[in-house]
Amino acid sequence: MAEETRETERMGEPDEPGEERQRLGVSCTRGPGEMRAVVLSAFGGLGKVRVSSRRAVPVPRQGEVKIRVKACGLNFLDLMVRQGNIDNPPKTPLVPGFECSGIVEAMGPDTTGFEIGERVMAFVNYGAWAEVVCAPLDFVYPVPDAMTFPEAAAFLVSFVAAYMMLFEIANVQEGMTVLVHSAGGAVGQAVAQLCSSVPRVTVFGTASPSKHEAIKDSVTFLFDRNTDYVQEIKKISPEGVDVVLDCLCGEDTGKGLALLKPLGTYILYGSANMVTGETRSFFSLAKSWWQVEKVNPMKLYEENKIIAGFSLLNLLFRQGRADRVQSVVRKLLSLYREKKIRPVVDSLWALEEVKEAMQRIHDRGNIGKLILDVEKSPTPLMANDSTETSEAGEDEDEDEQDIDSDSKERVPFIQ
């Protein structure tokens, strides 16, 4: 009977991009108090991700902002979460996603700070890939007029991480040299732009050869990630580099430390190399652990080297340092207004295309950030792939439990 009522309510409810979705054969009906969201049903491969149109719409609590989401950022970390390749993984099913942009729809009780209708972007501790998100005030920021929703969804994680590593940990200054891996990725492009804001900073980047033509002007020297980049850098800068930003914890850690000049800083901020396929590989995990340089503090002392680690999400969500991040966002927004930085958006995807979007990162195809555009309709070819209508068996059942608790577009590279 309850099911019948819900069905009747849904039939009578027009759904804004609904007609187009129905034309494409995608289920999008939802009852009052329900919304569309990407759901990770269990850790694993792409098959564990789908769209549910029946997630409960969250209600803002005191101190929270309710956001009608327009765009969500897809980070490499989201692939690692999907695989369960992270420390202390949360329970599934869950809605993934750590950043989004949208419009303020409501404020929690006794909460002020944003106007209804204001354009905002936010860090979210899981749950960003949904039509509606509630985030604490400390994690929400106004979006400048000139910034589009996709750009805003591409801004926070990559630029704050890049800024804090370059300027708050490594203290990058005029004339320094920086090595960054995956230079074409979202963080890599943020690093390149931020380094350009300081005079005479040399950036050595590594990337897959397919990206070289598109990104060659964003860094000073670009190397194929498969070549012996250490030798190449030493030919250009025999004394090494001042800063190594390493997101490939393993073999590259030793190479990075060896490349550091005296008083240079090595920062580990990721372990992308542990992702070797669609699902988690214990072999690659063990290999990375084995290859990683075991650091001897005595050696650091003798060689005058600094070694650091950085995790933005831990800083925000586990270590309570949103205040520190706020001051960084203010500086970044100034740089944006001065036109010194601008987020690079690789492509826009409908929520229903989330698997294809993730596959693009697995395939090392992206330049900048992939964005899930909440209002975009899936392309006909992809329409049936990640929707709840195409999922059978266990995932459908999980969807029931959830109730209670247009063509691909490339945005040109921006200098």
Pairing of strands 369-373, 345-349: parallel
Q: Could you say which of 94, 328, 361, 371 contacts ligand NAP (CB under 6 A)?
A: 361
Give yes or no for residue 166 binding ligand NAP (CB under 6 A): no
Closest approach of ligand NAP to the CB of residue 95, in Å: 18
Helices assigned H by DSSP within 245-348: 251-259, 282-291, 297-303, 312-313, 322-337
Q: Is 269 a binder of ligand NAP (CB under 6 A)?
A: yes
Number of residues counted as binding ligand NAP (CB under 6 A):
29
* Residues forming a β-bridge with 347: 370, 410
Smallest distance, Å, CB 70 to ligand NAP?
A: 20
Nearest approach, Cβ of residue 48 and ligand NAP (Å): 18
Q: CB of residue 131 vs ligand NAP: minimum separation in angstroms?
A: 23
Q: Which residues contact 213 (CB under 8 A, 6 or more apart)?
A: none
Tell me whether residue 75 or residue 347 sits nearer to ligand NAP (CB atom).
75
Considering the rule CB under 6 A, would residue 218 count as an interface residue with ligand NAP? no
Q: How far is the CB of 362 from ligand NAP (least distance, A)?
A: 5
Residue 372 makes contact with ligand NAP by CB under 6 A:
no
**Separation of alpha carbons 227 and 208, rounded Å:** 10
Minimum separation from the CB atom of position 254 to ligand NAP (A): 17
Q: Which residues have C-beta within 8 Å of that of residue 63, sequence separation ≥ 6?
A: 108, 111, 136, 137
DSSP string, 24-50: TT------TTEEEEEEE-SSSSGGGEE
Q: Site mask, ligand NAP, residues 48-77, x = CB under 6 A?
A: ---------------------------xxx
Question: Smaller CB distance to ligand NAP: residue 150 or 270?
Answer: 270
**Residue 187 interacts with ligand NAP (CB under 6 A)?**
yes
The full DSSP string for 180-240 is ESSTTBHHHHHHHHHHHTSTT-EEEEEE-GGGHHHHGGGSSEEEETTS-HHHHHHHH-TT-
Contact 258/295 with Cβ under 8 angstroms?
no
Residue 75's contacts (CB-CB under 8 Å, 6 or more residues apart) are 98, 99, 157, 158, 186, 369
* 141 binds ligand NAP, rule: CB under 6 A: no
Identify the H or E element spanning 83. Answer: helix 76-83
Sole binder of ligand NAP in the list 10, 21, 225, 376 (CB under 6 A): 225
Binder of ligand NAP out of 185, 240, 264, 343 (CB under 6 A): 185
> In the range 283-342, which residues lie near ligand NAP by CB under 6 A?
310-312
Binding letters toward ligand NAP, positions 233-262, x by CB under 6 A: --------------x---------------
Select 75 or 265, whichever has its Cβ closest to ligand NAP: 75
Task: Find the shortest distance in angstroms from Cβ 158 to ligand NAP.
Answer: 5
State yes or no: residue 150 binds ligand NAP (CB under 6 A).
no
- Do residues 313 and 322 make contact, with C-beta atoms less than 8 angstroms apart? no
Distances (CA, A) of 83 to 86, 201, 202, 279: 8, 37, 36, 5
- Contact between 64 and 134 (Cβ < 8 Å): yes
Per CB under 6 A, residues contacting ligand NAP are 75-77, 157-158, 161, 182, 184-188, 207-208, 211, 225, 247, 269-270, 272-273, 275, 310-312, 361-362, 364, 366
